[in-house]
A = this chain, B = another copy of it.
Amino acid sequence: MIHRISVLVGSLRRHSTARKIAINAIGSFPDDFDARLVEIRKLPLYDFDFDDPSVTDKQTPPEYTRFRETIKASAGVLFVTPENNRTVPACLKNAVDIGSKPNADVAWTGLPAGIISHSVGRMGGYSSQKNLRLALSYFDMPAPGQPEVHIGRSHEVVAANGLFVDESTDAFVSDYVTRFADLVRASARG
């Protein structure tokens, strides 16, 4: 059994650190996992009217439908995100909101979630991660317990070749991915 994991990156920047960290994390999944980046750049800003059947001049955009189907077909979701203004970046909040509708068919419900936050400061996106967890707890998404991954001084952690500069960062992220994978397997059995 292959577990499909959707990996969401909370930055649209082409060479974002979050994307680089995500790619390293993807490489750390065990063999029975298929983890892939899910692009969120082209998702139109969430508008409830799109999902309101009584609004006849607006239709649900195909990007929403595709995104929701991708999430629902996943066995788990890994979020890798920086912090913008102490909270989740707009592009990621947009994906979260889109996946949360319609109310009768929330894409996120119960899916295991992994979270890796980072920032150039020492806090490592702590506040952004807390903020994301607040939303995810609403969907009853289980997440691995302690320790949480907050990568500080993140502009220094990835080398020019795309790999982590320090083996310790690599080991820490790999260990987290392993714990997340265990959680996904346990949920799949459950």
A: which residues have CB within 8 A of B? 11-14, 16, 41, 43, 45-49, 52, 55, 84-91, 93-94, 96-98, 100, 110, 122-124, 126-127, 130-131, 134-135, 137-140, 142, 145-146, 152
Residues of B within 8 A of A91 (CB): 45-47
Q: A90-B93, A90-B97 are in contact. Are A45 and B12 (CB under 8 A)?
A: yes
Q: A86-B135, A131-B134 are in contact. Are A46 and B12 (CB under 8 A)?
A: yes
A97 to B84, CA, bound (A): 7
Q: A55-B14, A138-B146 are in contact. Are A131 and B87 (CB under 8 A)?
A: yes
Pairwise interchain contact B45-A41, C-beta atoms closer than 8 A: yes
Residues of B within 8 A of A135 (CB): 85-87
Could you pull out 9 A-B pairs where Cβ atoms are within 8 angstroms?
A14-B49, A46-B91, A85-B97, A86-B138, A87-B88, A88-B93, A89-B93, A93-B94, A137-B146
A94 to B93, CA, bound (A): 9
Pairwise interchain contact A87-B134, C-beta atoms closer than 8 A: yes
Pairwise interchain contact B46-A89, C-beta atoms closer than 8 A: yes
Residues of B within 8 A of A49 (CB): 12-14
A55 to B90, CA, bound (A): 21
Residues of B within 8 A of A84 (CB): 46, 97, 100
Q: Which of B48, B90, B110 contacts A16 (CB 8 A)?
A: B48
Pairwise interchain contact A94-B97, C-beta atoms closer than 8 A: no
